[in-house]
Amino acid sequence: MVDSYINFVLSNPLLSASIQFAILGTLGEVISFSFKKKKLALPCNLWQLVAKILAWALLGIIIKYGFAGMKGFTKALLEHQLLPQIFASGIGWAFAVSVLTNLFFGPQMMFIHRLEDNLIMWEKNYEGLTKAWWTLIWFWIPAHTLTFSLPLEYQIGLAAIWGMVLGIILGMSKK
């Protein structure tokens, strides 16, 4: 089963990213909303849920491109001696890619996600976006350090799982 997953991810990088985020991102939203309501509940109507699934799928593709681009960016900084060589391999590499991804790519990606959500829900709500950006520091940098220390074929899947985990954490923390 793991071999089938790996083969699918390596053979279909964009499709697999979109499917993993569509499922796990949506599931994270439903779980978070259910914690908030203290019962199993959907955060929207059925058509909006379908739109959210598609938005998460698009986000998976954006993240796949972002990960590849930020790895290239990190490599370029190392080649131009703009980062110390401690970040060239191993956990140092994973940490550098994570920090650069979450500082240079994360805020825009979160804004795009909020914009998608606003369009789907027919609202103009940017409340909590600053708090979401803080998760880049306390949650996403450590989480993606682990993510980028794994082989490529597991990175997008783990990133999608982390999104679901953060949704659960935030859902449980809501009053």
Between CA 76 and CA 169 the distance in angstroms is 35
pLDDT tops 70 at residue 175: no
The pLDDT of residue 168 is 87
One-letter amino acid at 78 equals L
Between CA 2 and CA 140 the distance in angstroms is 25
pLDDT band per the 50, 70, 90 thresholds, residue 171: confident
CB 31 within 8 A of CB 57: no
pLDDT tops 70 at residue 14: yes
pLDDT band per the 50, 70, 90 thresholds, residue 173: confident
**Phi, psi for 94 (deg, rounded to 5):** -60, -45
| Gyration radius of the chain over CA positions | 17
Between CA 144 and CA 98 the distance in angstroms is 5
Task: Enter the pTM of the model.
Answer: 0.94
Q: What is the pLDDT of residues 84-112, one digit of tens each?
A: 999 999 999 999 999 999 999 999 999 99
Q: What is the pLDDT of residues 148-169, one digit of tens each?
A: 999 999 999 999 999 999 988 8
Residue among 43, 136, 17 at smallest CA distance from 144: 136
Between CA 139 and CA 94 the distance in angstroms is 15
Mean pLDDT of the chain: 96
The pLDDT of residue 172 is 83
Percentage of the chain exceeding pLDDT 90:
93
Q: What is the pLDDT of residues 59-88, one digit of tens each?
A: 999 999 999 999 999 999 999 999 999 999
Better pLDDT: 101 or 171: 101
Q: What is the mean pLDDT of the segment spanning 114-128? A: 95
In the chain, domain spans: 2-173
Between CA 26 and CA 163 the distance in angstroms is 10
